[in-house]
Each structure stands twice: as structure tokens, then as C-alpha cells.
Amino acid sequence: MSTLFGINFYSGSKQSFVELLNQHLSKEERKFVVTANPEILIHSLGDASYKTAISKANYVVADGIGVVKAMDLLKESVNERVTGIDVMQDLLESANHKKLSVYFLGASERSINKMVDRIYERYADLQVAGFHHGFFTDSEKIIEEIQIQKPDLIFAALGAPKQEAWIANNMSKFDKGIFIGVGGSFDVLSGVQRRSPRVLQNMHLEWLYRISTRPHKLKKIQVLTLFSILTIKEYIHMILLKDTRVEDN
């Protein structure tokens, strides 16, 4: 376990994390997963109720490369980046294999319809327990459907902070299920939004691609700047603390 900005992170690899979730699935347990990027961490610093929502998660994984780099700098070991979309795709594969049921919540109506069509094509044995777009005002019907269907996996792609708040507020109403916030993943899996080219992913520049293809995301640069400043502040604090300890000895 590693810590950043007061939040505990799962520090293993993506593969070990997916294996862990598969174990929870086979025991029909209820778990809440946050796939944290710098935006989520910054938001949690300024919004106490959001921080409380995040604290209810069973696992927080380092989704953004910024989070992984910050951990490296602060000597908080985290094995690798574990993205929501990669975990989702791995879980869909194993759920298909085991004929498990899945509920999809989020994105625009067009995007979720397209994604569910592709899911039916690609995962013939997967049980689609239900799906709903993410622009609802009242989620009672959605909650009722999940209570009746009892899906094994519930992917919430409502964007942060909405998806974590929704899961934290409603999770106690369900008996089982792995609840995981996956941001813009439905838009990528539906083909509405392209994931960045592999070469940019390998260069850790996926965030730059996402900003350049969605100019309304320019605010993200401010968040990333603030995240970098706070990380450097923590780093300086860590160095000073180390120096003080050396002097004391």
C-alpha cells in the first residue's frame, strides 16, 4: 500500500489487481474501486464530502501517469499505472469467460448504445444486466434495476467526481458487485472517442492527446499544474524532514 495526499493506493501490478478483483467476484463480494488521476486527487483536497466518498473505496489505483510519477518522487512505491479502461477490458474478458453479469452506467445515450452493441458482438457469453446513460436526474429506477438484477460488475462512467459520489452514496443498497468508476471509457469502447495512439501511451502523453482532442478539457492543465506544485511541495517537505532527522542523530 502506498499513500499520496492522504489517500492509500493499491501498489501492485494491473494483473495482480485484476486477479484480486476476480477473487472478490468469485466470492460474490461488494467492492468499490476508484481509478484515481490527478483531477480526482485535487478534487478530494478541496471537497470534504468527495474525500469521504473516496475514503469508502476498498481500492484506489493509480490511473494517471502523473499519480505514478508523483509516487516515484515521494518514494511511495507503486508498481505501475492501472487504468480504468484496461481493468474494465480485462474484467469484461474474464466475465465473458465465466458468463457473469454486468451493468453499465454512464456516458451519452448515443455512446452507451453504441458501446453495448459492441459488447454484445464481442462478448457473446457476457450477461448484460442492464445499462443507462449518465445524464439522469433521478437514479431510483437505475438503483431498482441493479437491486433486481444483482450484476457481478457495475461500471460507472459518469466522470469524476460524479461517479465516485454516486457509488459511495448508493453502494450500501446493493448486496454484491464490483463497483468501479471508469471515466471516459465508454466513449472509447463505443468508438465515439479514440484512445490516444499507442506511441503516445508509451511516452506517457495520453493526457496531452485527450486535452488536444477535447479543448473543453483545457482546465485539466490548471489541475495538472496545481497537482505538480503540491507534489513538489510534499517532496521539499520530505527532504527537509529527512535533513532534520539526520541533524538530530
**Closer residue to ligand UDP, CB minimum distance, 22 or 38:** 38
Scanning 6-14, 50-58, 102-110, 145-153 for contacts with ligand UDP by CB under 6 A, the matching segment is 102-110
Angle at 179 between CA 75 and CA 40, to 5 degrees: 45
**Nearest residue to 230 via CA among 31, 14, 50, 5:** 5
User: Which x/- pattern, by CB under 6 A, does the window 130-169 give for ligand UDP?
Assistant: ----xx---------------------xxxx-x-------
Separation between Cα atoms, residue 79 and residue 77, nearest integer Å: 6
Nearer to ligand UDP, 25 or 61 (CB): 61
Give the shortest CB-238-to-ligand UDP separation in angstroms.
29
> What residues numbered 107-126 form the site for ligand UDP, per CB under 6 A?
107-108, 111
| Number of helices (H), then strands (E), in the chain | 12, 8
Contact indicator for 166, 34 with CB cutoff of 8 Å: no
Q: Which of residues 169-208 bind ligand UDP (CB under 6 A)?
A: 183-184, 186-187
DSSP result, 74-131:
TT----S---HHHHHHHHHHHHHHHT-EEEEEES-HHHHHHHHHHHHHH-TT-EEEEE
Nearer to ligand UDP among residue 10 and residue 186 (C-beta): 186
Which CB atom, from 177 or from 183, has the smaller least distance to ligand UDP? 183
**Count residues contacting ligand UDP (CB under 6 A)?**
15
Least Å from the CB of residue 244 to ligand UDP: 39
The alpha carbon of residue 244 and the mean position of all alpha carbons in its chain are separated, in whole angstroms, by: 37
Task: Record the cell numbers describing residue 77, joined without a space.
Answer: 512505491
The residues of the shown chain that bind ligand UDP, judged by CB under 6 A, are 106-108, 111, 134-135, 157-160, 162, 183-184, 186-187
